[in-house]
């Protein structure tokens, strides 16, 4: 069996110049060797680039296209309608609408040139996850989403339905990746099963307005250089060229172009911390969009809020002792979100 710490050290000396594309056809094969072969590709990607594309996943194109369509309808609404679901109304739970420049992912910049709408696990999708968590100060918790109302927007119902459909489909894709991550970490396939029962997944629809002829202010990128906070992100991009970039160890920015009907998956800080930095969480950014409006949908998949991020034994050796203080997943993500959002 590969020793993860040794593998991690040796990969640190190589670098990536492109992002691998992994076929998920065999992810649920009844043949364990085939599942393992997919997990090995995922292991290499998670220890090296921290980024990979997936194809032949379980999410239908119709579900994706309908969500992009609804996203366009929503962001085109007058500001006063979008403000009816403003994030300031979410009681500190990071749900709802955020206007241009209200977020700043890279503190050396002035702000990010995008608008966003955030949602979490909806009570209508999983009633069992609600009302059981203890209220703890400084911890993320499940809660209501902020949905536009029909009295303010005729399309409110279709918008909600498309987002819920997308959320369920991508949640299922995320859950199906955990056995592969477990194999990649030399753990039993079922290792994460009891840790993702009520997952803390936040989905965002993002809108990057085209700047056209306007002068680009380098300090207002689409999204400034950052790492994500949760275990991993499942990102759907549209076909806008020259947008997402990923930074390799040397510091070069590598393009992550749109590839039809794929998702980009990237490891986030929660997984890096949990695995004692065996999995790498890689910085990325979105350049200012010039020729056309851009839409994307990141889905940040965290484990259950109450799970303590104790590194599994395959990630700790005498030469690589545990690097981080143990926190629960909910406390960790709340801390990170509070640092970045100017409104909560």
Which residues make up the interface to ligand AKG (CB under 6 A)?
Answer: 206, 223, 228, 235, 237, 244, 284, 286, 296, 298
Structure tokens at 26: 């065999």
Please identify the residue of the shown chain whose CB is closest to the bound Fe ion: 228
Local structure of 186: helix, strand or coil: coil
The distance of closest approach from Cβ of residue 262 to ligand AKG in the complex, given in angstroms and rounded to an integer, is 13
The distance of closest approach from Cβ of residue 74 to ligand AKG in the complex, given in angstroms and rounded to an integer, is 16
Q: Select 109 or 237, whichever has its Cβ closest to ligand AKG.
A: 237
Residue 140 binding partner per list ligand AKG, Fe ion, none, with a CB distance cut-off of 5 to 8 Å that depends on partner kind: none
Q: Can you tell me which residue has the tokens 């409110």?
A: 156
Q: Select 194 or 255, whichever has its Cβ closest to ligand AKG.
A: 255
Residue 195 binding partner per list Fe ion, ligand AKG, none, with a CB distance cut-off of 5 to 8 Å that depends on partner kind: none
The distance of closest approach from Cβ of residue 68 to ligand AKG in the complex, given in angstroms and rounded to an integer, is 13
Structure tokens at 78: 């007058």
Q: Select 184 or 297, whichever has its Cβ closest to ligand AKG.
A: 297
C-alpha dist (Å) from residue 194 to 189, 221, 303: 12, 39, 10
Local structure of 296: helix, strand or coil: strand
The distance of closest approach from Cβ of residue 107 to ligand AKG in the complex, given in angstroms and rounded to an integer, is 15
Separation CA 96–CA 75 (nearest Å): 12
The distance of closest approach from Cβ of residue 237 to ligand AKG in the complex, given in angstroms and rounded to an integer, is 5
Residue 337 binding partner per list ligand AKG, Fe ion, none, with a CB distance cut-off of 5 to 8 Å that depends on partner kind: none
Q: Interface with Fe ion by CB under 5 A: which residues?
A: 228
Residue 165 binding partner per list ligand AKG, Fe ion, none, with a CB distance cut-off of 5 to 8 Å that depends on partner kind: none
- The answer to whether the Cα torsion of 255, 260, 262, 268 is positive or negative is positive
Residue 256, C-beta contacts closer than 8 angstroms, at least 6 positions apart = 19, 51, 244, 245, 246, 264, 284
Residue 286 binding partner per list ligand AKG, Fe ion, none, with a CB distance cut-off of 5 to 8 Å that depends on partner kind: ligand AKG
Separation CA 12–CA 331 (nearest Å): 30
Residue 235 binding partner per list Fe ion, ligand AKG, none, with a CB distance cut-off of 5 to 8 Å that depends on partner kind: ligand AKG
Local structure of 112: helix, strand or coil: coil
Q: Select 42 or 116, whichever has its Cβ closest to Fe ion.
A: 116
Do β-strands 21-23 and 51-55 pair in parallel, antiparallel, or remain unpaired?
A: parallel
Asked if 305 contacts 141 with a C-beta cutoff of 8 angstroms, the reply is yes
Residue 330 binding partner per list ligand AKG, Fe ion, none, with a CB distance cut-off of 5 to 8 Å that depends on partner kind: none
Please identify the residue of the shown chain whose CB is closest to the bound ligand AKG: 296
Q: Select 27 or 171, whichever has its Cβ closest to ligand AKG.
A: 171
Q: Select 284 or 334, whichever has its Cβ closest to Fe ion.
A: 284
The distance of closest approach from Cβ of residue 113 to Fe ion in the complex, given in angstroms and rounded to an integer, is 15
Q: Can you tell me which residue has the tokens 């380098």?
A: 218
Asked if 68 contacts 238 with a C-beta cutoff of 8 angstroms, the reply is yes
Q: Select 165 or 237, whichever has its Cβ closest to ligand AKG.
A: 237
Q: Select 153 or 263, whichever has its Cβ closest to ligand AKG.
A: 263
| Beta strands across the sheet bearing 223-226 | 223-226, 284-286, 244-247, 253-255
Q: At what angle do helices 61-75 and 156-184 cross, to 10 degrees?
A: 130
The distance of closest approach from Cβ of residue 8 to ligand AKG in the complex, given in angstroms and rounded to an integer, is 24
Do β-strands 96-98 and 115-119 pair in parallel, antiparallel, or remain unpaired?
A: antiparallel
**Backbone phi and psi for residue 38, each to the nearest 5 degrees, phi listed first:** -65, -45
The distance of closest approach from Cβ of residue 113 to ligand AKG in the complex, given in angstroms and rounded to an integer, is 11
């Amino acid at each position: 069996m590969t020793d993860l710490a040794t593998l991690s050290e040796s990969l640190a000396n190589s670098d990536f110049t492109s992002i691998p594309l992994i076929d998920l056809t065999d992810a649920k094969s009844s043949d364990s060797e085939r599942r393992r072969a997919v997990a090995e590709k995922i292991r290499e990607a998670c220890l090296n680039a921290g980024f990979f594309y997936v194809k032949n996943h379980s999410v239908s194109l119709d579900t994706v296209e309908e969500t992009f369509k609804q996203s366009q309808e929503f962001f085109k609404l007058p500001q006063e309608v979008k403000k009816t679901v403003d994030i300031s109304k979410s009681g500190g739970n990071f749900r709802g609408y955020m206007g241009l420049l209200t977020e700043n992912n890279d503190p050396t910049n002035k702000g990010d040139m995008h608008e966003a709408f955030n949602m979490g696990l909806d009570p209508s999708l999983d009633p069992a996850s609600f009302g059981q968590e203890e209220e703890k100060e400084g911890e993320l918790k499940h809660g209501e989403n902020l949905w536009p109302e029909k009295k303010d927007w005729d399309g409110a119902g279709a918008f909600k339905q498309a987002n819920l459909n997308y959320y369920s489909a991508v949640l299922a894709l995320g859950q199906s990746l955990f056995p592969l991550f477990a194999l990649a970490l030399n753990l039993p396939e079922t290792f994460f099963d009891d840790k993702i029962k009520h997952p803390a997944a936040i989905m965002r629809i993002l809108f990057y307005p085209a700047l056209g002829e306007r002068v680009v202010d380098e300090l207002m990128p689409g999204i400034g250089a950052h790492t994500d906070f949760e275990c991993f992100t499942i990102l759907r991009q549209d076909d806008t060229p020259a947008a997402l970039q990923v930074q390799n160890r040397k510091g070069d920015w590598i393009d992550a172009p749109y590839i039809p009907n794929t998702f980009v998956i990237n490891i986030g800080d929660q997984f890096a911390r949990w695995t004692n930095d065996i999995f790498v969480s890689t910085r990325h950014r979105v350049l200012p969009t010039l020729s056309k409006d851009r839409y994307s949908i990141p889905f940040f998949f965290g484990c259950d809020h109450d799970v303590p991020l104790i590194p599994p034994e395959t990630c700790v050796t005498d030469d690589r002792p545990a690097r981080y203080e143990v926190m629960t997943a909910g406390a960790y993500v709340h801390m990170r979100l509070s640092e970045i959002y100017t409104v909560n």
